[in-house]
Amino acid sequence: MKLYHFSNNDFKVLKPDFFGQNSYTQNDARYSLPRVFCYDTAKPAEYTFKTSNFRYVIRIKDKLIYNLDNDVLGLKTRFNFDIDKILSFVSKRYHAIEYTTSFKTFAIFKAYKIFTKENFVIGQNWE
């Protein structure tokens, strides 16, 4: 699966170690598990990413992603919707978790080599 990450930082590898170091992830950094957020669409899902300097693409196998929307393991019920416990459980068995809020999001727990990197040109829209 091809996933997109938008950032103003220049990376060679997407690593969860950078989680919480920018204004987009500071609030989420209160959770115990570092992660990188990606999307399955080439256009930014969130307005704040529309002017990101870089768009990165990583490739990850579907079988390495746990789909929390389908939740075949019943983790939401098992852990009483405790996101820290769900993330901890999933991160030991998968490389990422997929879920939907107002758009589909993928939280990546492992470092991934950048497949492609594009620079944003002022005045252009991500296509």
Domain locations in the chain as residue ranges: 2-119
What is the average pLDDT across 37-42?
Answer: 85
Whole-structure pTM value:
0.82
What's the pLDDT tens digit per position in 49-94?
777 788 889 999 999 999 999 999 999 999 999 988 999 999 999 9
Find the largest Cα–Cα distance for the chain: 48
